Structure 1
């Protein structure tokens, strides 16, 4: 099974922030406050002076108008960071599981799609508008900042159909021989028709031609329907994380 620290690094590459400051083993990420992952600390190493490092993080985020936040998982350093943050007034948010599988196993468990899935190397306006209508938080400036996150890493984008009205989308970040599934969304009026599975199939089938062998995804721990789907496809829990956000 892949190490938690390796999973953290892959996720960071698959969803890169505009700016990152290295701080004695921590990666302090900033992206105009758009998406929690891109505006949180990835605590990959233990700072020599924990209190001083936290003061620096809080001051830096305050200067950028961002709530100080940490992504805390099994590899977070120091080992008691979560308790330390809780005592400092940081609130727990979004407990999330990280699931992994081989691409070949997932494809073997997926039916052949009965709809056309359009795959491209960049998100067009129809893709972006649909994703933002389902998952977005903020206006046009926030949407533009989110689009920049997507464009900073190599990825594939799937959409059903190829133009409006869009019914389903997905993104597959490409990192070496790994890929990360993001932004999977289906129009509520077209759910339970197998569109999410069609999107996953289309992305992974294309990724196999690019040397991708393994895939990860993140799912909120409380999302039972999504977890049931991923379990049927052969995904297994490889890691987990949550956020600590200063009130």
Structure 2
């Protein structure tokens, strides 16, 4: 998955509230939806003056540094900006992840059921982040995972062309390491296949080793990386 395609799919399936150019930079307002929709990116050749102007244009300066952004990364490091939340992307062919599921262990629906919102609220995925989901213009769904006839997890999935991306996967602590996460991933792949998507991807912080182990067990492989820098 190329860095440009990863960025394109993320922007379509987890969009900011607003985005506007500042010279060669693209600034974003996430309206509380998290770093991913609030960080600036560089889109063209830039100068130190361009960088100064971009920083001045942000209330809370934050840059997303992708593969190929080494010059900007070095410039921000030289200014004393710290690395925040290194992120890795995982992806797999949809066909490799689809399959049958035990009855009512995970199912797609839209708009989000109240039980899915409760799961997200418990995990810190509140109204501002769910507003990001509402902004997605393309095909989208929520996957609700269940265990012992009770809500156990939730995730959001959206499509951009033949690409599907999963966001906001949250599993209740009591249901972790018991198959709920895997069921949600499979249900997401089944739904993506029905929409005509050929690849399912997601992003996760580098330090989240438990989630990364889940994705690797499901057959997903590393497909990209990025990190943030803040003053």
TM-score by length of 1: 0.84
Residue in structure 2 matching 1:194, options 155, 168, 179: 179
Whether 2:133 is the aligned partner of 1:150: answer yes
Counterparts in 2 of 1:113 and 1:91: CA distance versus 1, 3 Å = farther
Deviations 1:28-66 (A, max 9, x none): 11123430111101223223xx2222222222222xxxx
**Partner of 2:51: helix, strand, or coil?**
helix
What's 1:102 paired with?
93
Cα distance in 2, alignment partners of residues 144 and 115 from structure 1: 26
Cα distance in 2, alignment partners of residues 236 and 191 from structure 1: 21
Is the CA contact (8 Å cut-off) linking 2:181 and 2:214 kept in structure 1?
A: no
Deviations 1:189-224 (A, max 9, x none): 111210011111112112211101101111221222
What's 1:214 paired with?
199
**Partner of 2:197: helix, strand, or coil?**
coil
After TM superposition, the structure 1 = structure 2 runs for residues 1-247 of structure 1, keeping only pairs within 5 Å, are 2-47=1-46, 50-62=47-59, 67-76=60-69, 79-107=70-98, 112-113=101-102, 115-136=104-125, 143-153=126-136, 154=138, 155-161=140-146, 166-246=151-231
Cα distance in 1, alignment partners of residues 114 and 58 from structure 2: 31
**Partner of 1:72: helix, strand, or coil?**
strand
**Partner of 1:45: helix, strand, or coil?**
coil
RMSD: 2.1
**Partner of 1:240: helix, strand, or coil?**
strand
Counterparts in 2 of 1:72 and 1:206: CA distance versus 1, 3 Å = same
**Partner of 2:92: helix, strand, or coil?**
strand
Which structure 2 segments of 5+ residues have no match?
Answer: none
Deviations 1:106-158 (A, max 9, x none): 226xx73354323113223332232122033xxxxxx4332221111132101
Cα distance in 2, alignment partners of residues 129 and 87 from structure 1: 43
Is the CA contact (8 Å cut-off) linking 2:101 and 2:187 kept in structure 1?
A: no
Is the CA contact (8 Å cut-off) linking 2:24 and 2:50 kept in structure 1?
A: no
